[in-house]
C-alpha cells in the first residue's frame, strides 16, 4: 500500500507539473482544484500509458496479476503496433518538451526566477528518476583484460533454462528451427542426446547437477524444504572450484531462487529470495494492487527495492537478465583468476510467457482463446492445483506449444548473445561453455502436463546437455546414456581439479574426444511431489493428499514452506521410478498392493507407449535388480 501511494504521488506530481506548465503558457489562473484535477489525470494517464506499453512488450506481466479475462484486451493489442507505439511516444515527448520550453520562456519574461528554478529542478528530478529506473546499459568488453599463462585453467560458463525439453533442439530433428545457436555450439563441442536428471524438479535437479550426487545422497528430494535442510550434506561445484583458485558466481531470475536457498558456496549471487516462502508470497499483495505497482517497477527500481514483485513468478525477465549476465561476464573477465558462472533463465518455464516479439513468433495470429500471451489460469495457487489434475481437453494445447516454442527460440537467442559477448571479451578460447536444463516438460504425452509427474515418458526427465571445451576438437552428437550427476566430475577433470571420491557421477571428459568411447551408464529418475491427483496414473496407484494439505510453515519467523513430516514416508513410497540402460527403459509404479513394471524400447518407441515386458521378460529381469537397489537406497525396496 505504501508503494502504491508513493507511485500515485510521483505520477500525480508529474500531472501537476505538466498542468502548471500549461497554465503558465496559457495564462490560466492556478487553483487548488486545477492541481487536484491534474494529479488525478497524471495518475490515470501514467497507468494507461504503462498498461498499454506492457500489453505490447511484455503481456506476461499483466497475465501474472490480472483478475480479468485477457480476451477483453485483444482488440487493443491488435491496434497498438510497434510503429504506433513509437509514434505516440515521440509525439508525447515532443509535446512535453515544447510545453516545457514555452513555460520556461514565459517565466523568464515574467521575471519569475524562483518559479523558473523550481520548474527546472522538478523536471530534472522526474527525468533523472525515470532514467535511473529504466537504465539498462549495454554490455561492453572489459576495459582491462589481464594476460593469463598458457597453462591457466579455463573459465566455466553454464547457461541453463528451466523446463527446456531436449527434443526441441534442431540438431535432434525438431520440425521448427528453434535452436540454431545451441545446435552450432553442439556441433563445435559435444551434444549429449540422452542425458537424464534424477528428479525432474528444480531444487533436487540443480543440487544433483552441481554436487554430482543422487538425491538420496544430498538429501533434497523436492522443492519444498524446511530451513533446517538447506545446508547441503556434500560440497557443491562452486566450493570445490574455489579450492582451485576460481571465483564463482550465479545469476538468475525467479526460477533460480533455489541457488540462494541452499549452501552451494557461490562467491557472488544475483537472484531473488526463496519463492517457496509464505512471507515472500504475502508481500506480493493482492492481485489488483500488485498489477498497479508491477506496471512501474519492472525495472532497476523494482529489482533493488521491490524484488517480490520484480521477480514475480511467471513474469518474463529474459532480456534484462541477459544484459545483466553479460555485464557480469565483463567484470569477471577483468581479473586474472578463472571464473565459474552459472546463468539460469526461467524463459521456458510455465506459463510460457515471453517478451515481444517471441510470444508471437509461432502462435496463430487469429487465436482468440485465453492463452494468447501465456498458458491461462496459472496465476493463483488454487488454480494451479486444480489445473494440474485437469484433462487434456481443458487446454488449448496447440497454442500452448506454440508459446513454448517461442520461449525456446528466445532462450537460444540469449545463448547466441552470450557467445558473441564471450568473443567480444576475448574469452572464447579459454572458456568451457555448458548449455543445460533442470528438467523437461510434459505436454500430455502420458495424460498429464508439467514436470516431474511421470517417469514413464521421456519429456520430463530428459534434458539437453552441450559441453564445448575450446581446447578439444569437436565431437558432435553422443547418443549414449549419461546423467546430469556426471557434469560436476566432468568439469572438475577438464579444469584439472582433484576428483571427489564421494560423488555418484563419473567424468565424461573422455566422451568429448572423438576417438574415445563413453562409459556405459545406468540413468535413474524418480517423480517429484504431485500437487494434485495426476491424470493417467494406474487406478490402484499409491496416492496422498493435494499439496495444500501436505504443506506447513515449520518456522513462522522465516516463513519457509515445507512438507509435514507425517507425510514424508508416504510421499517417498508413492514415487514412480525408472532406469534407462542402453535403449531399454524399465519403469516402476507403486500400487496399493504390489507394483507395476513396464519395459520400453526407447530407440524404437521414443514416446514409451508400447510396453514390451511380456516379450522381453529377460531384459526386465536384468534391469529390475539395479532399479530395486536404487529405490532401496532411500527407502525399503519393494519385494522382488
**Residue ranges covered by each domain of the chain:** 2-134, 155-275+336-363+401-522, 547-632
d(CA 549, CA 566): 11
* Dihedral angle, C-alpha 162, 230, 259, 506, nearest 10 °: -70
Superfamily of domain 155-275+336-363+401-522: Alkaline Phosphatase, subunit A (3.40.720.10)
Pick the CATH number of 547-632 from 3.40.50.970, 3.40.50.10300, 3.10.50.40, 3.30.1120.10: 3.30.1120.10
Distance of CA 538 to the CA centre of its chain: 32
How high is the pLDDT of residue 288? 85
| Terminal CA-CA length for the chain | 60
d(CA 321, CA 554): 33
- Nearest Cα residue to 423 out of 330, 342, 319: 330
The pLDDT > 70 percentage for the chain reads 98
d(CA 449, CA 545): 19
d(CA 80, CA 62): 16
Whether a cis peptide bond, with omega within 30° of 0, leads into 357 is yes
- E strands, 301-430, where? 339-345
Asked if 59 contacts 374 with a C-beta cutoff of 8 angstroms, the reply is yes
Task: Flag whether pLDDT at 284 surpasses 80.
Answer: yes
Which positions ≥6 away from 622 have C-beta within 8 Å?
A: none
Residue pLDDT, tens place only, 165-200: 999 999 999 999 999 999 999 999 999 999 999 999
Region at 14 (left for phi over 0; alpha for psi -120 to 50; beta for the rest): alpha
How high is the pLDDT of residue 247? 97
| 180-188 and 397-424 helices, crossing angle to 10° | 50
HEC sequence for 232-270: CCCCCHHHHHHCCCCEEEEEECHHHCHHHHCCCCCCEEE
Asked if 176 contacts 360 with a C-beta cutoff of 8 angstroms, the reply is no
Asked if 238 contacts 245 with a C-beta cutoff of 8 angstroms, the reply is no
How high is the pLDDT of residue 640? 54
Average pLDDT, the chain: 93
DSSP secondary structure letter of residue 638? P
How high is the pLDDT of residue 274? 84
Residue pLDDT, tens place only, 100-139: 999 999 999 999 999 999 999 999 999 999 999 999 888 9
d(CA 111, CA 290): 45
pLDDT confidence tier of residue 492, bands split at 50, 70 and 90: very high
- The pTM (predicted TM-score) of the whole model is 0.95
Task: Flag whether pLDDT at 239 surpasses 90.
Answer: yes
- CB-side exposure of 566: number of CA atoms within 13 Å? 4
Lowest mean pLDDT segment, chosen from 87-96, 99-108, 186-195, 441-450: 441-450
Amino acid at each position: 500500500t505504501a508503494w502504491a501511494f508513493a507511485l500515485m504521488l510521483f505520477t500525480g506530481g508529474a500531472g501537476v507539473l505538466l498542468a502548471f506548465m500549461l497554465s503558465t503558457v496559457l495564462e490560466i489562473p492556478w487553483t487548488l482544484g486545477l492541481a487536484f484535477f491534474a494529479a488525478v489525470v497524471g495518475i490515470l494517464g501514467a497507468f494507461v500509458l504503462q498498461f498499454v506499453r506492457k500489453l505490447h512488450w511484455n503481456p506476461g506481466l499483466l497475465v501474472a496479476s490480472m483478475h480479468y479475462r485477457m480476451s477483453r484486451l485483444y482488440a487493443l493489442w491488435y491496434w497498438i503496433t510497434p510503429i504506433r507505439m513509437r509514434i505516440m511516444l515521440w509525439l508525447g515527448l515532443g509535446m512535453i518538451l515544447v510545453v516545457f520550453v514555452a513555460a520556461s520562456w514565459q517565466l523568464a519574461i515574467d521575471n519569475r526566477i524562483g518559479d523558473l528554478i523550481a520548474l527546472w529542478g522538478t523536471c530534472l528530478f522526474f527525468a533523472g528518476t525515470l532514467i535511473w529506473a529504466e537504465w539498462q546499459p549495454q554490455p561492453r568488453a572489459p576495459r582491462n583484460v589481464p594476460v593469463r599463462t598458457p597453462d591457466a585453467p579455463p573459465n566455466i560458463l553454464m547457461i541453463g533454462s528451466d523446463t527446456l525439453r531436449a527434443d526441441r533442439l534442431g540438431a535432434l530433428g525438431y520440425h521448427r528451427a528453434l535452436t540454431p545457436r545451441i545446435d552450432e555450439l553442439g556441433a563445435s563441442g559435444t551434444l549429449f542426446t540422452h542425458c537424464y536428471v534424477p528428479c525432474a524438479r528444480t531444487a533436487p535437479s540443480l543440487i544433483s547437477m552441481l554436487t554430482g550426487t543422487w538425491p538420496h545422497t544430498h538429501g533434497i528430494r523436492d522443492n519444498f524444504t524446511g530451513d533446517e535442510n538447506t545446508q547441503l550434506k556434500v560440497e557443491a561445484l562452486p566450493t570445490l572450484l574455489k579450492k582451485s583458485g576460481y571465483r564463482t558466481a550465479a545469476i538468475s531470475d525467479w526460477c533460480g531462487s533455489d541457488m540462494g536457498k541452499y549452501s552451494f558456496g557461490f562467491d557472488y549471487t544475483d537472484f531473488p529470495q526463496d519463492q517457496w516462502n509464505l512471507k515472500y508470497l504475502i508481500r506480493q499483495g493482492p492481485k489488483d494492487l500488485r498489477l498497479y505497482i508491477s506496471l512501474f517497477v519492472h525495472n532497476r527500481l523494482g529489482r533493488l527495492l521491490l524484488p517480490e514483485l520484480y521477480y514475480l513468478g511467471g513474469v518474463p525477465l529474459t532480456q534484462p537478465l541477459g544484459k545483466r549476465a553479460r555485464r557480469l561476464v565483463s567484470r569477471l573477465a577483468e581479473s586474472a583468476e578463472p571464473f565459474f558462472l552459472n546463468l539460469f533463465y526461467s524463459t521456458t518455464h510455465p506459463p510460457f510467457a515471453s517478451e515481444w516479439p517471441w510470444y508471437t513468433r509461432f502462435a496463430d495470429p487469429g487465436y482468440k482463446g485465453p492463452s494468447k500471451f501465456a498458458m491461462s489460469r496459472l496465476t493463483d495457487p488454487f488454480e494451479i492445483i486444480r489445473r494440474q489434475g485437469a484433462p487434456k481437453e481443458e487446454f488449448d494445447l496447440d497454442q500452448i506449444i506454440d508459446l513454448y516454442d517461442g520461449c525456446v527460440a528466445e532462450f537460444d537467442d540469449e545463448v547466441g548473445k552470450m557467445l558473441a559477448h564471450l568473443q567480444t571479451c576475448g574469452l572464447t578460447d579459454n572458456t568451457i561453455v555448458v548449455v543445460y536444463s533442470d528438467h523437461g516438460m510434459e505436454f500430455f504425452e502420458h495424460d498429464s502436463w508439467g514436470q516431474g509427474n511421470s517417469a514413464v515418458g521421456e519429456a520430463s526427465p530428459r534434458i539437453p546437455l552441450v559441453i564445448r571445451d575450446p581446447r578439444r576438437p569437436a565431437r558432435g552428437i553422443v547418443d549414449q546414456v549419461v546423467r546430469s550427476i556426471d557434469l560436476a566430475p566432468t568439469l572438475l577433470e577438464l579444469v584439472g581439479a582433484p576428483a571427489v571420491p564421494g560423488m555418484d557421477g563419473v567424468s565424461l571428459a573422455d566422451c568429448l574426444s572423438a576417438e574415445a568411447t563413453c562409459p556405459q551408464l545406468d540413468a535413474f529418475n524418480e517423480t517429484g511431489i504431485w500437487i494434485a491427483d495426476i491424470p493417467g496414473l494406474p487406478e490402484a496407484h499409491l496416492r496422498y493428499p493435494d499439496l495444500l494439505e501436505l504443506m506447513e510453515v515449520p518456522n513462522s519467523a522465516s516463513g519457509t514452506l515445507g512438507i509435514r513430516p507425517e507425510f514424508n514416508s508416504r510421499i517417498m513410497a508413492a514415487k514412480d521410478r525408472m532406469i534407462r540402460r542402453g535403449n531399454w527403459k524399465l519403469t516402476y509404479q507403486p500400487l496399493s498392493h504390489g507394483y507395476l513394471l513396464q519395459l520400453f524400447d526407447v530407440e524404437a518407441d521414443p514416446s514409451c507407449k508400447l510396453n514390451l515386458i511380456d516379450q522381453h521378460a529377460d531384459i526386465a529381469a536384468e534391469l529390475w535388480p539395479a532399479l530395486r537397489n536404487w529405490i532401496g537406497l532411500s527407502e525399503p525396496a519393494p519385494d522382488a
